[in-house]
C-alpha cells in the first residue's frame, strides 16, 4: 500500500474520531436541563410560593375573624348578663359589640377577596406545574435516547482508536510528522483525495506535473492548499 493511501486511511479514521468526539460532547451537553425547563421550574416555584402566601393570608384572616367573633360573643354575653348595671359601662359594651361586628364584617370581606385570589392563583400555579411536568417528561425521554447514543458513541470511539493504533505504524515516521503538522494547520484535514484532476480538499484543479507525479506513485502535495494528495 502506498504511503499516500496509508495517510489517507489514517485521515479517514481521524476525521471520524473528531466527528464522534464532537457529537459525544454535544450529547453530554444535551443531558443538562435546557433553559426552557429551568425557566418553567422557576416559574412554577414562584407561582407556588405566591399561592402559599395568599393561603397563609387567608388563614391569618380566618383566625382573626374567630378571635373577633369570640371577643364579640363574650362582650355580648356580659352586656346581656345582667351583671353590669352601670349605664356608662353598658353603653361602652354596646359600642364595643358594634365595633367588633363592623371589624368582623370588614375582615370577612377581605377574607372573601383573598379566597378569590387564592382560587385564581391556584389555577396559575396548576398551569405552571403542568407546563413544568410536561417539559420535564420530555427532557427525561430525550435523556434516555441521549444516554443510548452516548453508549454507542463510546463504543465506536473505542473501536476507532484501536483502528488508529494499528494504522499509525504503517506510516513512515517522517511523513507522520508532516501529517500531524498539517492536521494542526489545515483544520483537521491533512490528506485530500485527488479526483478528476482536482484536490478534494480545496477543489482547485492541479497542475499537469502534480497529476503526473501522483500517477507515477510519488507522494505529492496540493499546489494550492499544500495538503498531501491521495489519488482515488
Of residues 30 and 202, the one with the C-beta less far from Zn ion: 202
How many Å is the maximal CA-CA distance in the chain?
A: 132
Torsion of CA 4, 7, 13, 19, to 10 degrees: -90
Of residues 122 and 224, the one with the C-beta less far from Zn ion: 224
Our finding on whether 199 is near Zn ion (CB under 5 A) is: yes
Shortest distance, CB of residue 192 to Zn ion, whole angstroms? 6
Our finding on whether 225 is near Zn ion (CB under 5 A) is: yes
Our finding on whether 190 is near Zn ion (CB under 5 A) is: no
What whole-number distance in Å separates Cα of residue 5 and Cα of residue 191?
9
Shortest distance, CB of residue 225 to Zn ion, whole angstroms? 3
Our finding on whether 7 is near Zn ion (CB under 5 A) is: no
Query: Can you read off the three cell numbers belonging to residue 177?
Result: 510528522
- Consecutive H or E run containing 20: helix 3-29
Question: Closest by alpha carbon to 68, among 41, 100, 45?
Answer: 100
What whole-number distance in Å separates Cα of residue 43 and Cα of residue 63?
30
Our finding on whether 115 is near Zn ion (CB under 5 A) is: no
For Zn ion, the binding residues in 49-78 under the rule CB under 5 A are none
Range in contact with Zn ion (rule: CB under 5 A) among 40-48, 63-71, 90-98, 224-232: 224-232
Our finding on whether 222 is near Zn ion (CB under 5 A) is: yes
In this structure, are residues 61 and 124 in contact, taking their beta carbons and an 8 Å threshold?
A: no
User: Residue numbers of the site for Zn ion (CB under 5 A)?
Assistant: 199, 201-202, 222, 224-225
Amino acid at each position: 500500500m502506498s504511503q499516500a493511501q496509508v495517510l489517507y486511511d489514517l485521515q479517514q479514521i481521524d476525521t471520524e474520531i473528531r466527528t464522534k468526539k464532537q457529537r459525544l460532547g454535544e450529547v453530554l451537553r444535551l443531558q443538562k436541563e435546557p433553559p426552557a425547563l429551568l425557566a418553567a421550574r422557576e416559574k412554577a416555584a414562584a407561582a407556588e410560593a405566591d399561592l402559599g402566601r395568599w393561603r397563609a393570608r387567608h388563614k391569618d384572616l380566618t383566625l382573626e375573624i374567630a378571635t373577633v367573633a369570640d371577643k364579640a360573643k363574650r362582650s355580648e354575653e356580659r352586656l346581656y348578663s345582667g351583671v353590669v348595671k352601670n349605664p356608662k359601662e353598658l353603653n361602652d359594651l354596646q359600642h364595643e359589640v358594634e365595633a367588633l361586628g363592623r371589624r368582623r364584617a370588614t375582615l370577612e370581606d377581605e377574607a372573601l377577596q383573598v379566597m378569590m385570589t387564592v382560587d385564581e392563583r391556584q389555577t396559575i400555579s396548576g398551569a405552571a406545574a403542568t407546563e413544568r411536568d410536561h417539559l420535564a417528561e420530555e427532557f427525561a425521554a430525550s435523556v434516555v435516547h441521549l444516554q443510548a447514543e452516548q453508549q454507542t458513541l463510546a463504543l465506536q470511539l473505542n473501536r476507532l482508536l484501536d483502528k488508529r493504533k494499528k494504522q499509525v505504524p504503517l506510516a513512515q515516521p517522517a511523513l507522520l510528522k508532516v501529517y500531524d503538522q498539517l492536521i494542526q494547520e489545515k483544520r483537521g484535514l491533512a490528506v485530500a483525495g485527488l479526483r478528476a484532476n482536482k484536490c478534494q480538499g480545496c477543489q482547485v484543479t492541479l497542475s499537469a506535473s502534480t497529476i503526473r507525479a501522483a500517477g507515477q506513485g510519488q507522494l505529492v502535495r496540493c499546489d494550492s492548499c499544500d495538503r498531501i494528495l491521495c489519488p482515488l
